[in-house]
């Protein structure tokens, strides 16, 4: 019995290693790619690796296994000057707003179609992906407007618009959360 268990373990572990090694094998003519992982650091590393091969992020989505999946498309001109990506994950909106703004000052911009609410067995995190263009002369600023009542959210969006912000996406996390963005051009 121990012999069979050891053989099963050996086969299973070698298939996992083979899968992880094959995960980022990309054909030269491959146009689309899906990355999926539970770990934020792994996702950032893989995003930078495939960005160097000319891929750009299109969408993000949660999976049933508490992972996050990212759909990418190869853009030939992106291979010359690779984009850079950062993945933010936190369970607190104030922390997310601070982290968004820290990266926005460095030229990273939120990709609204990549916002994921990743719920694990014990934890729940809001995950957002940011992209930095290699030639961008822009920085950004973000505000997260939240409220259970629509009138409160409407009022805060209008106040943000007066300051130069505009809505880029909305998330429902027990209450309405609207992400506002302001573009700052650096000369």
Q: Which pair of tokens denotes residue 163? A: 């300051």
Is residue 53 domain-resident?
A: yes
Measured in whole angstroms, the distance separating CA 62 from the mean position of its chain's CA atoms is 11
Q: Would you give the DSSP letter of residue 65? A: T
Residue 101's alpha-carbon distances to 43, 88, 134, 140, in angstroms, are 21, 11, 19, 7
Residue closest to 134 by CA, chosen among 49, 51, 26: 51
Q: What is the pLDDT of residue 79?
A: 60
| Beta-bridge partners for 144 | 179
| Average pLDDT, 10 consecutive residues per value, the chain (187 residues) | 41 34 69 86 90 90 75 80 88 93 95 82 81 89 91 92 94 87 81
Residue closest to 62 by CA, chosen among 20, 125, 146: 125
The pTM score is: 0.79
Q: What is the pLDDT of residue 119?
A: 67
Is residue 16 domain-resident?
A: no
Residue closest to 124 by CA, chosen among 147, 101, 91: 91
Q: In the chain, how many domains are there?
A: 1
Is residue 84 domain-resident?
A: yes
Q: What is the pLDDT of residue 135?
A: 83
Is residue 6 domain-resident?
A: no
25 within 8 A of 92, measured Cβ to Cβ: no
The span from the CA of 166 to the CA of 3, in Å, is 63
Q: What is the pLDDT of residue 31?
A: 92
Q: What is the pLDDT of residue 16?
A: 34
Q: What is the pLDDT of residue 21?
A: 41
Q: What are phi and psi of 81, to 5 degrees?
A: -135, 100
- Segments forming the whole domain that contains residue 113: 30-185
Is residue 5 domain-resident?
A: no
Is residue 106 domain-resident?
A: yes
Is residue 38 domain-resident?
A: yes
Residue closest to 48 by CA, chosen among 108, 105, 116: 108
Which residue's structure tokens are 């770990």? Answer: 39
Alpha helices in the chain (DSSP H): 2-22, 40-51, 93-104, 150-162
Is residue 24 domain-resident?
A: no
Q: What is the pLDDT of residue 129?
A: 94
């Amino acid at each position: 019995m121990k012999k069979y268990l050891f053989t099963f373990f050996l086969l299973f572990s070698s298939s996992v290693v083979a899968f992880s090694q094959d995960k980022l094998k990309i054909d030269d003519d491959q146009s689309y790619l899906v990355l999926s992982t539970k770990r934020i650091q792994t996702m950032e590393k893989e995003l930078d690796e495939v960005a160097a091969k000319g891929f750009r992020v299109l969408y993000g989505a949660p999976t049933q296994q508490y992972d996050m999946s990212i759909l990418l498309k190869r853009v030939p001109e992106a291979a010359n000057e690779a984009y850079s990506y950062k993945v933010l994950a936190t369970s607190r909106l104030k922390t997310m707003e601070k982290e968004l703004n820290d990266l926005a000052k460095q030229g990273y911009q939120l990709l609204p179609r990549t916002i994921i609410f990743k719920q694990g067995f014990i934890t729940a995190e809001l995950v957002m992906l940011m992209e930095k263009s290699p030639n961008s002369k822009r920085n950004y600023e973000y505000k997260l407007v939240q409220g259970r009542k629509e009138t409160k959210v409407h009022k805060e969006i209008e106040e943000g618009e007066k300051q130069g912000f505009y809505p880029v996406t909305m998330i429902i996390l027990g209450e309405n959360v609207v992400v506002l963005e302001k573009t700052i051009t650096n000369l």
